[in-house]
Amino acid sequence: MRGSVLKFLCFSLLLAVQGMDVMADVMTKESKFNPRDPVTILFLGDSLTEGYLVNEEYSYPSLVKENLLGKKYNVKIVNGGLRGDTTAGGLNRYKWFLKTDFDVLFLALGSNDGLRGINLVNIRKNLKEIIEKSKKKGVKVILAGLNIPPNYGEDYANGFAELFEDLAKEENVLYYPFLLKNVAGKIELNHNDGIHPNEDGYKIIAQRMTDYLIKNLYEKK
């Protein structure tokens, strides 16, 4: 009798483990899109996303679309960038976008908050709410990391930079390190204001982002 019970328990455990493996495999497959399937990506951001001071076709969302279509990915891009927008403003605007259909949210808000010295707790709260609303809708989220100069002190600047990665880990969403990597601070890649990229700067941002999206959003071809 004991032997039969032991065999039953071992068999049940084996089925459970196999079931977990299958579930893990399904979850992995569901976490990425097939390159042939239509995917809509909403970029929610400020002037950096809008493409301030360049023609629309040179904004990084437009260049990313061009890159992905050129590689035969079935993608649609929605540029939700708005000059001067904050996390609070983006949260309010996002409620309208939620009425539309899209699959992925690339969230790149916070720069204007940081430049205004807005409380980090409030910035985090707004971003968290956007992420939570996305999850409820079944939208995959990519949170972009941002940096600011130490106008309000090193502690504030460091806390600002850290909150994005910390929040991405807490909410278990994809994290895209520093949006302006390899572009920020380079005179030849920015306009005279030293903040907004020029066409060459946006091309670098878009290429890096394209590589990231292919790696993290799509199954291998």
Return the active site residues: 47, 193, 196
Other Cβ atoms within 10 Å of 15 Cβ, number: 10
56 close to 92: Cβ distance less than 8 angstroms:
no
Question: CA neighbours within 13 Å on the CB side: how many for 96?
Answer: 6
219/35 Cα distance (integer angstroms): 7
Determine the straight-line distance between the first and last CA of the chain, rounded to whole angstroms.
53
The closest alpha carbon to 188, from 178, 166, 173, 203, belongs to: 203
CA distances from 6 to 1, 10, 11 (A): 9, 6, 9
Provide DSSP, 112-160: HHHHTT--HHHHHHHHHHHHHHHHHHT-EEEEEP----STT-HHHHHHH
Largest alpha-carbon pair distance within the chain?
83
